[in-house]
């Protein structure tokens, strides 16, 4: 078991084994629950929180109140399977918007409860060299001196937040982000770009403050699709609101892009709230959609997203719409161990897959304080948990045609799956 002292030094405690959290429960772990910590992960101590461990002598799971709890924020492409186990002190602050994975120590190495879900290296830390990113940013800014979207992607995203998607754009490869919307029609509890003061959470990004023009979007996207390997351009990013709210602008941009190039994938990351807009965009050339969701259960979904002027049924219809157009449909599925792998959620996910014609699940880590989420979303009665690894295994067995990963797939990857996909669900 790991713990931290008041100076932030991380230490091992040889009288305790590491235990984890699954929902509201503390669970003992086995060796096979761990992988060596992925390169690029970070380790945090948690203020105002005490670690739980398994007493080696008695076998009891107990709180160690002489130190602070420790957790890992694991690198992209890896999905957490258990949460860090801790007890919260009275008056402890709400944790920032990270995912809090169980981390342990053995034979001079850190280990985490996670699984590598995607072999794609597009956000592996080994693929980035900051001086090269900075040089490329400078070159792109000189090339497009009046493009406000280039300015945002460089100043805010690539250089300030070290956003890997933005850095990949400037390195002219893979997926290019296209933030477009300053407004949103949801009030997600874990929104990274706009948080109400009463939540006690600091937003981790500043939200885009303008809607870029068709010209600003198109000149970025056309060049990227024409020149980058395995190219994707994606509307809908963490530094903006909901892109479907500016559907007319996106429609114009897609038409302009496709008037100049047929290469690559045009994708939108969205809450899926406006299926009619998805239909309009698909007719214009949108090929792929990724809908974010914390749950396949209407009550849990709406308690987290707090949707305005749309409902859970709309997101399912948006997926059906893109599938009827022959497009690719993913869900950006926020994994919360103990709830995502509960029997109730598993049954709801199976139903959702069957009723929408879904093509892919992106098993994403849920960046939120676990106790804040449980309290604010009023989640309870989740049913027994089977374990995240078991959940993934069961879904793969029942739906062998589904793609699984962490990122939006390239045209080449999509092509491998399309022959085995079921027919689209008709209206």
* Angle, in degrees to the nearest 10, between helices 343-356 and 312-324: 40
Residues 75 and 173 in one domain: no
pLDDT digit string, tens, across residues 75-108: 999 999 999 999 999 999 999 999 999 999 999 9
Q: How far apart are the first and last CA of the chain?
A: 53
Residues 112 and 173 in one domain: no
Buried b (16+ CB within 10 A) or exposed e, 275-314: bebbbbbbebbbbbbbbbbbbbbeebbbbbbebeebebeb
Q: Is residue 98 part of a domain?
A: yes
Give SS3 for 52.
Answer: strand
Q: Is residue 312 part of a domain?
A: yes
CATH label of the domain that carries residue 372? 3.20.20.70
Distance CA 266, CA 227 (A): 15
Give Cβ neighbours of residue 38 (< 8 Å, ≥ 6 apart): 74, 75, 77, 78, 112, 114, 116
> Which conformational region is residue 320 in: left (phi greater than 0), alpha (psi within -120 to 50 degrees), or beta?
alpha
Residues 71 and 175 in one domain: no
Residues 197 and 77 in one domain: no
Going by C-alpha positions, the residue among 364, 290, 292 that lies closest to residue 330 is: 290
Beta bridge partners of 403: 360
pLDDT digit string, tens, across residues 120-169: 999 999 999 999 999 999 999 999 999 999 999 999 999 999 999 999 99
Give Cβ neighbours of residue 396 (< 8 Å, ≥ 6 apart): 402, 404
Q: 128: how many CB neighbours lie within 10 A of its CB?
A: 15
The pLDDT of residue 204 is above 80: no
Cβ 42 vs Cβ 72: under 8 Å? yes
Q: Is residue 62 part of a domain?
A: yes
Residues 111 and 144 in one domain: no
Distance CA 259, CA 254 (A): 8
**Pairing between β-strand 403-405 and β-strand 360-365 as defined by DSSP bridges:** parallel
Residue 186 lies in domain: 132-420
Residues 92 and 154 in one domain: no
DSSP 151-190: HIIIIIIIIII--HHHHHHHTT-SEEEE---S--S---TT
Distance CA 240, CA 193 (A): 7
Backbone angles phi, psi at 45, to 5 degrees: -95, 150
Q: Is residue 220 part of a domain?
A: yes
pTM, to two decimals: 0.96
Tokens 């067995």, residue located:
397
By mean pLDDT, which of 57-61, 216-220, 373-377, 389-393 is the weakest?
Answer: 373-377
Q: How many separate domains does the chain show?
A: 2
Query: Residue 197: pLDDT band by 50, 70, 90 thresholds?
Result: confident
Q: Of 82, 116, 150, which residue is a domain's last?
A: 116
The pLDDT of residue 342 is above 70: yes
Beta bridge partners of 51: 86
For CA atoms 346, 351, 354, 359, the dihedral sign is: negative
pLDDT digit string, tens, across residues 239-265: 899 999 999 999 999 999 999 999 999
Residues 136 and 86 in one domain: no
Going by C-alpha positions, the residue among 408, 360, 322, 384 that lies closest to residue 352 is: 360
The pLDDT of residue 111 is above 70: yes
Cβ 117 vs Cβ 79: under 8 Å? yes
Distance CA 274, CA 313 (A): 10
Report the pLDDT value the prediction gives residue 378, as an integer from 0 to 100. Answer: 86
Give SS3 for 372.
Answer: helix
Q: Is residue 425 part of a domain?
A: no
Report the pLDDT value the prediction gives residue 194, as an integer from 0 to 100. Answer: 78
Running DSSP on this structure, what letter comes out for residue 68?
B
* Mean residue pLDDT across the chain: 95
Q: Of 49, 83, 116, which residue is a domain's last?
A: 116
Give SS3 for 202.
Answer: coil
Query: Residue 24: pLDDT band by 50, 70, 90 thresholds?
Result: confident
Q: 203: how many CB neighbours lie within 10 A of its CB?
A: 15
The pLDDT of residue 379 is above 90: no
Q: Is residue 57 part of a domain?
A: yes
Distance CA 37, CA 126 (A): 14
Q: Of 116, 144, 164, which residue is a domain's last?
A: 116
Tokens 């100043």, residue located:
155
Buried b (16+ CB within 10 A) or exposed e, 17-38: bbbbbbbeebbebeeebbeebb
Residues 15 and 84 in one domain: yes
Question: What token pair was written down for 160?
Answer: 């300030």
**Pairing between β-strand 10-12 and β-strand 16-22 as defined by DSSP bridges:** unpaired
Beta bridge partners of 27: 20
């Amino acid at each position: 078991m790991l713990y931290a002292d008041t100076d932030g030094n991380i230490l091992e405690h040889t009288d305790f084994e590491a235990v984890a959290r699954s929902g509201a429960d503390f669970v003992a772990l086995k060796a096979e629950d761990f992988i060596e910590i992925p390169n690029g992960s970070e380790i945090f101590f948690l203020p105002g929180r005490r670690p739980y461990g398994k007493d080696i002598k008695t076998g009891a799971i107990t709180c160690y109140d002489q130190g602070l709890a420790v957790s890992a924020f694991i690198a992209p492409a890896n999905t957490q399977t258990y949460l860090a186990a801790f007890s919260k002190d009275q008056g402890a602050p709400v944790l920032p918007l990270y995912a809090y994975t169980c981390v342990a120590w053995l034979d001079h190495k850190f280990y985490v409860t996670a699984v590598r879900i995607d072999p794609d290296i597009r956000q592996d830390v080994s693929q980035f060299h900051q001086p090269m990113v900075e040089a490329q940013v400078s070159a792109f800014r000189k090339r497009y001196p009046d493009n406000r979207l280039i300015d945002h992607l460089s100043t805010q995203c690539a250089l300030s937040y070290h956003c890997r998607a933005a850095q990949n754009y400037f390195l002219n490869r893979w997926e290019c982000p296209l933030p477009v919307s300053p407004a949103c029609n949801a009030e997600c509890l874990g929104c990274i770009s706009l948080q109400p003061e009463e939540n006690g959470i600091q937003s981790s990004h500043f939200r885009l403050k303008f809607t870029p023009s068709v010209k600003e979007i198109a000149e970025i996207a056309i060049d990227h699709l024409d020149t980058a390997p395995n190219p994707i351009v994606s509307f809908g990013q963490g530094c903006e609101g909901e892109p479907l709210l500016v559907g007319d602008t996106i429609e114009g941009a897609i038409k302009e892009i496709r008037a100049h190039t047929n290469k690559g994938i045009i994708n939108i990351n969205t809450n899926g709230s406006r299926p009619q807009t998805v239909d309009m965009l698909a007719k214009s050339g949108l090929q792929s959609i990724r809908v974010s969701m914390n749950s396949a259960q209407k009550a849990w979904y709406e308690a987290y997203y707090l949707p305005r002027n749309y409902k859970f049924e709309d997101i399912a219809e948006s997926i059906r719409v893109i599938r009827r157009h022959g497009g690719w449909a993913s869900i950006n599925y926020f994994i919360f161990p103990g709830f995502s792998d509960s029997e109730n959620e598993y049954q709801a996910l199976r139903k959702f897959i069957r009723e929408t014609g879904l093509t892919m699940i992106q098993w994403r880590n849920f960046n939120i304080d676990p106790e804040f989420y449980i309290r604010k979303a009023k989640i309870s009665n989740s049913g027994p948990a089977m374990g995240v690894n078991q959940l993934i295994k069961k879904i793969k067995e029942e739906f062998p045609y589904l793609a699984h990963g962490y990122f939006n797939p390239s045209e080449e990857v999509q092509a491998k799956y399309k022959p085995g996909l079921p027919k689209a669900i008709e209206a």
